Amino acid sequence: MIKHNYPLKNITTIGLGGTCKELICPATITDLLKINKSRKHIYIGNGSNICFITDYYNGSIISLKRMKRFISHDDKYIYCSSNISCNKVSRYLYNNKISGFEFLHGIPGTIGGAIYMNAGAFDDELLRHVHSIELLNSEGNIYIISNKDLRYSYRKSNIDKKSSIIQVTLNNQAKVFNRNILNKLNSIRKNTQPINQLSCGCIFRNPKNQYAAKLIEGAELKGTRVGGIYISRKHSNYFINDGSGTYKEFLKLINIVKNKVFTKYNIELQEEVILVK
């Protein structure tokens, strides 16, 4: 499926941006292989950690949402497609009494997107648990990265951003299953993070030995609004779109936060959200 001049707000969870030249939604790997990747393009999953800061993206946006989703496991590994949501992976493993991945529940996005940015929560991160990753590069070739070739740190990895993650294999860890862990983490998330609102997750990375949310709150910015975009009163590192916001207001609020935090703490915040022009 190909759609031209498609509204960018329809493919991201914060709902901002103008239009794109074309949105491509392949249904199979064969369809994915046929796409001309020599021109400007970007891959997206749920669009939960990305914001388009442009009136017109002059390229192709390739969404894997229509491709088949799957997850399975054996005694050693967990196999899943890159377009399956973190929530579904966490719930599947919970239902099969496989522990160690409860932290994924509530992370807004797909496993593929979470792999790229080494997403995490509650003092854990996804790339610690990866056995191997199957990808498609810009030349149309499929290749595999094993755990020993991965290099990663907080919200970073050495995975080629021009490649598309197709499948992920996770280690099935021998951990004692505790039925209460997922419910506990889910309760904490609901009590501390805004849900069912237009947002793109955390805006800024946590500086070393600091929490961006605490710095923003300490700078007395909680609730600050620019037009239709405002800082959540529930979690200061979340920006909320009330439905009328624009990407220009979003960028202005980012700059306000960075300037005030730097002025007060001499700390320069770095964006965690991916900004695409």
Determine the residue type at 5: N
Q: Is 272 marked active-site?
A: yes
- Token pair, residue 123, equals 């003092």
Catalytic residue among 155, 189, 217, 225: 155
In CATH terms, is domain 2-63 a member of 3.30.43.10? yes
Residues ≥6 apart with Cβ < 8 Å to 157? 115, 116, 117, 118, 127, 150, 151
Rounded to whole angstroms, how far apart are CA atoms 200 and 46? 10
Rounded to whole angstroms, how far apart are CA atoms 215 and 15? 26
Q: Is 225 marked active-site?
A: no
pLDDT at site 177: 66
CB atoms inside a 10 Å sphere around CB 243: 10
Task: Name the DSSP letter for residue 177.
Answer: -
pLDDT band at 192 (very low <50, low <70, confident <90, very high): confident
* pLDDT greater than 90 at residue 249: yes
pLDDT at site 138: 80
pLDDT at site 178: 73
Q: Is 202 marked active-site?
A: yes
pLDDT at site 106: 80
Kind of pairing, strands 120-121 and 124-125? antiparallel
Residues 152, 191: contact at Cβ < 8 Å? no
Closest CA to 171 of 124, 131, 133: 131
Is the pLDDT higher at 103 or at 167? 167
pTM of the predicted protein model = 0.88
Assigned architecture for domain 194-276 = Alpha-Beta Complex (3.90)
Closest CA to 158 of 148, 168, 167: 148
Catalytic residue among 80, 102, 202, 205: 202
Rounded to whole angstroms, how far apart are CA atoms 172 and 160? 25
Residue pLDDT, tens place only, 194-237: 888 999 999 999 999 999 999 999 999 999 999 999 999 999 99
Residue pLDDT, tens place only, 128-186: 999 999 999 888 889 999 999 999 988 889 999 889 999 999 999 867 767 788 778 77
- Token pair, residue 81, equals 């497609």
Catalytic residue among 22, 102, 125, 272: 272
Rounded to whole angstroms, how far apart are CA atoms 168 and 94? 18
Rounded to whole angstroms, how far apart are CA atoms 94 and 75? 15
Domain residue spans of the chain: 2-63, 71-179, 194-276
Percent of the chain as helix, strand, coil, to the nearest 5: 25, 30, 45
Residue pLDDT, tens place only, 48-86: 899 999 999 999 999 998 999 999 999 999 999 999 999
pLDDT band at 33 (very low <50, low <70, confident <90, very high): confident
Q: Is 100 left (phi over 0), alpha (psi -120 to 50) or beta?
A: left
pLDDT band at 110 (very low <50, low <70, confident <90, very high): very high
Sign of CA pseudo-dihedral 167, 173, 177, 179: negative
pLDDT at site 86: 93
Closest CA to 42 of 27, 24, 17, 28: 24
Closest CA to 17 of 233, 256, 229, 261: 229
In CATH terms, is domain 71-179 a member of 3.30.465.10? yes
Residue pLDDT, tens place only, 254-266: 999 999 999 999 9
